[in-house]
Structure 1
Amino acid sequence: MRQQLASTFESLKVRNYRLFASGQVVSLVGRWMQIIAIDWLVLEMSGDSGTALGFVMAIQFLPVLMLSLVGGKLADRYDKRRLLLVANIMWLILSTMLATMVVSGLATLWHIFVFAGLLGVVNALETPVRQSFVSEMVEPKLLPNALALSAATFNAARIIGPAVAGGLIALFGSGTVIAINAVAYLAPLVCLLMMASDQLHRAKTKPTDTRISEGLRYTARRPDLLLPLALMFVIGGLGFNFPITLALLAKTVFNTGPETFGILTTMLAAGALVGALASSKRRERPSSHVVMGAAAMFGILEIVVAFSPTFWAACLLLLPTGFFMIYVAQAANQRVQLGVAPQFRGRVMALYILVFLGSTPVFAPLIGWLGEVVGPRSGLWIGGVAGLLAAITAFAVRCRKRDVQISVNLRPRPQVRLIEPERPTPAEQPA
């Protein structure tokens, strides 16, 4: 048991990564508290409008469409640690200003939209830098474990943040929660400053050509990268809209308050944390079948959650849904990160962030609108159906590319067998 735990948390033996993870868990708890606070604030100001909730979510993620590739270019060209310091300082300033306006009673709905957009700009530039920075803190053999632990840190924050936010919003209001988040940004700043630069695994020379177009061409030549990117575009855009779908479920279906919304989000994040820890045992690049299988399971479970008859049934079903939510995201992330050349990592990860988070502003307003017109449960089952169909389509395309035929022999009994071509296609190799 002790050996298994040591293997699960192996990357924490590295001082720089330990500092990074410590700062992230504090700031991410605060950030998730702020997300819940902003979502609830928008519902209160808009009269429980699902469209307004979808709009504020779209504004937060719209900059990803425009700026994430720029963030990837910056990550490949400049010092990632310094870029992260600047990003956290900007978050600290913006959250302090927003908290001041909300607490003083000066904030209106359009103020929330503006600050959501500004926070989204910083997030669009910071995320690809942070994702690619993990590879500089640990040696290559520890990278799968470090990526999984980063996801576990993220989901530990998703458990603690919403649970704490729900109670604090009920007691003190959304402004206090946003103020706490502003203070939390001091933690990653201190931890980044404490890192030892000489212990980072940096490339000896920076790439001379960091054009975005080169990164796009590199990815276009790699079908093994395109498959997880395409899957995460669909699943991220239609299936991962839980701040909208669970908020509507709590407030309009189960007729409860912010603390119940926090419980639903916490149950989802608890399952996600287990999924992240399960992914941490992986020591090699996951196959495309792992990615597709996890996507299919997530789609099925999200459909089941959509038709939960009671609040507690929804809570229980959100546990396995959260597990496969992070399992598919981690498998796709690791398949991309562990298959890309180091000089392209920042730009390819920016593309991953673009399709994963950038699809949110495209679909979030639609999910919010469907929640009002079709029903508050529709966002969940539509997202589930989309994820399941995406996985099935990816499997069919992969079989066709590899010239694999599926036949059913009904005699003497039903039997499914795969017929491979005489000359099998060579295994995918990173360029």
Structure 2
Amino acid sequence: MSPSDTALPARLAETSYWSFWSARVLTSASFQIAAVVVGWQLYSLTSSAFDLGLVGLCQFLPMLVLTLPAGHIADRFDRRTVVRLCQWVEGATMACLCIASATGAISPPLIFTAAAILGACRTIELPAMAALLPGVVGTPLLPRAVALSASAMETATILGPALGGVLYLAGPKIAYGIVAVLYAAASLCIWSIKLAAPHVARREPVSLDNLLSGFRFIRAKPIILGAISLDMVAVLLGGATALLPIYARDILHTSSLGLGALRAAPAVGALLTSLLLARRPLSKRVGVTMFTAVAVFGAGTVLFGLSTSFPLSLVALTLMGAADVVSVVIRSTLVQLETPDAMRGRVSAVNFLFVGTSNQLGEFESGTTAALFGTVPAVVIGGIGTILVAVLWSRLFPALRKVDSMRDL
């Protein structure tokens, strides 16, 4: 491989990759902005915390129903077309909310319907987007591309909620209109992509056997099974961020601005680390590095749980975000490299199902253990459990631990 094949930005600076990166930022930021605007508007209409919870339920239920079909769709059709169609529907949904807000026709049922549509589209869009990336950059540059793709997600996580709050000040109709435009821009970015390794769509018949093939493939691949299950269990145990409001008010004695800083700290750590990994991709002992990163995440969780200092808590959360993105980049790259292109959509869908479910169950687990044992013990127990899982998984999946270089796959 020549230096020009590996140097950044030799190929990653190509129009197609940066179009992909821009689309990832735009669509992720749009979803984040929409979540803030929908929440504020709904609460102003109903003053009901239960209704806010229903928004999350409306987005979660389509994920349970559509995740497996979404993987099949990503493998059956042109992934660029799948992503564009989802973004068009998302943009049209935001345009409808814009019109309804401007005309006074907005109502809670309309907002719930829009949330369900966004949840369904996102469930179909994400596996197709993930499976599209290897075709955009080719295998040699995939580790760097995955790191930069992670930076897109973290950028959106940091900027999206803040932009949502600012745009809402101009009125929900303006905010929804701008989000609709952002979705349209994301779709144009996807339209401009030229694939380095085109995906050959396979028109396999729709059947339960095909829908479940992603699970069977993962089960037969110890490296993929170990990587996905490790992330799932670590996220399930390490859901300390769900308890941040309690820490901000009762333990760290800070304001809502402090809470915002605490929420942003993991994303800042993840963004900086993902940019570093894009410039200096991991080349040796990647399996051991992933287990170490999960253990460091657990240690950061314990440090945060015990901290009564606001600056130290920020450091701990930043460390957690940095360690988490190292694990995510390695896991995502391993899964993509170990999966043939014809299966990437279905495997990515199962991956998103596991991670998405564990995120939500992790928040439930943290809340339950906090109610049973207290806030600080709940976070510390979760952090220690994460460390123990990293040690246990390194023994259960020796093939994953022994992965030295991405090039060996």
How does the TM-score come out when normalised to structure 1? 0.77
Sort the Cα spacing of 1:103 and 1:204 in 2 relative to 1 into closer, same or farther, 3 A.
closer
Structure-2 residue corresponding to 1:266: 264
Name the residue aligned to 2:30: 30
Structure 1 residue 207, shift from structure 2 partner? 6.7
Following TM superposition, by how much is the alpha carbon of 1:89 offset from its aligned partner in structure 2, in angstroms?
Answer: 1.1
Which amino acid in the other structure matches residue 327 of structure 2? V
Find the residue that maps to 1:282 and give its secondary structure.
Answer: coil
Matched residue, 1:194: 192
Query: 1:316: how far off?
Result: 2.9
Distance 1:204 1:86, change over 3 A: closer
In 1, Cα distance between equivalents of 2:31 and 2:101: 16
* Shift in CA distance, 331/209, structure 1 to aligned 2, threshold 3 Å: farther
SS in 2 for 1:13: coil
Residue pair 1:236, 1:359 contacting (<8 A) in 2 also? yes
Q: Any residues of structure 2 matched to 1:282-361 within 5 Å, and which?
A: 282=281, 287-361=286-360
Cα 1:52–1:95 shift into 2, 3 Å: same
Q: Answer yes or no: is 1:89 the counterpart of 2:88.
A: yes
Whole-Å separation in 2 of the counterparts to 1:279 and 1:156: 15
**Structure 1 residue 105 displacement after superposition:** 7.7
Residue 206 in structure 1 maps to residue 202 in structure 2: yes
SS at match of 1:25: helix
The answer on 1:160 being equivalent to 2:156 is no
Q: Which deviates further from its counterpart, 121-130 or 377-386?
A: 377-386
Alignment of 1:54-93 (within 5 A): 56-57=55-56, 59-93=58-92
Choose 120-129 or 383-392, whichever is displaced more: 383-392
3-state secondary structure, aligned to 1:12: coil
Contact 1:236 1:357 in 2 (8 A): no
Letter in 2 for 1:323: A
Report the count of equivalent residues: 400
Change (3 A) 1:238 1:156: same
Deviation at 1:108, TM superposition (A): 6.8
Q: Distance in 1 between matches of 2:52 and 2:227?
A: 28
CA distance in structure 1 between the partners assigned to 2:59 and 2:269 by the alignment: 25
* Cα separation, 1, equivalents of 2:40 and 2:357: 23
In structure 2, the partner of 1:407 is none
| Distance change in 2, residues 1:394/1:111 (3 Å) | farther
Distance 1:168 1:275 in 2: 29
Greater CA drift, 205-214 or 73-82? 205-214
Quote the residue 2:19 is aligned against. Answer: 19
Q: Could you give the per-residue CA deviations for residues 310-333 of structure 1, whole angstroms, max 9, x where no partner exists?
A: 444333322211111211111111
CA apart distance, 1:304: 1.9
Corresponding residue SS for 2:338: coil
- Percent identity between the aligned chains? 24
Flag structure 1 segments of 5+ consecutive residues without an equivalent.
Answer: 405-423
Please report how far the alpha carbon of residue 140 of structure 1 lies from its aligned counterpart in structure 2 after TM superposition.
Answer: 1.5
Of 179-188 and 307-316, deviating more is 307-316
Per-residue deviation at 1:226?
0.7
CA contact (8 A) 2:88 2:183 kept: yes
Greater mean alpha carbon deviation, residues 176-185 or residues 270-279: 176-185
C-alpha spacing 1:93/1:384, structure 2 compared with 1 (3 Å): farther
Q: Counterpart of 1:392?
A: 391
User: Contact 2:150/2:329 (CA < 8 Å) preserved in 1?
Assistant: yes
Cα drift, residue 157 of structure 1: 1.9
Deviation at 1:271, TM superposition (A): 0.6
Instruction: For 2:238 and 2:48, locate their aligned partners in 1 and report how far apart those are by CA, in whole Å.
Output: 21
**Which residue does 1:276 correspond to in 2?**
274
Alpha-carbon contact 2:286-2:406 (below 8 Å) kept: no
How far apart are residue 178 of structure 1 and its match? 4.8
1:127 equivalent to 2:123? Answer no
Shift of 1:161: 2.2
What's the CA shift for 1:234? 1.7
Are the equivalent residues in 1 in contact too, given 2:238–2:386 (CA < 8 A)? Answer: yes
User: RMSD between aligned alpha carbons?
Assistant: 4.0
SS of residue in 2 equivalent to 1:161: helix
Preserved contact between residue 155 and residue 272 of structure 1 (Cα < 8 Å): yes
> Residue 359 of structure 1 aligns to a residue in which SS?
helix
**SS in structure 2 opposite 1:348?**
helix
Q: Distance in 1 between matches of 2:190 and 2:394?
A: 42
Which deviates more from structure 2 when the two are superposed, residues 274-283 or residues 159-168?
159-168
Residues 378 and 154 (structure 1), Cα distance of their counterparts in 2 relative to 1, 3 Å cut: farther
Q: Does 1:217 align with 2:216?
A: yes
Alpha carbons 1:11, 1:146 under 8 Å: kept: no
TM-score by length of 2: 0.81
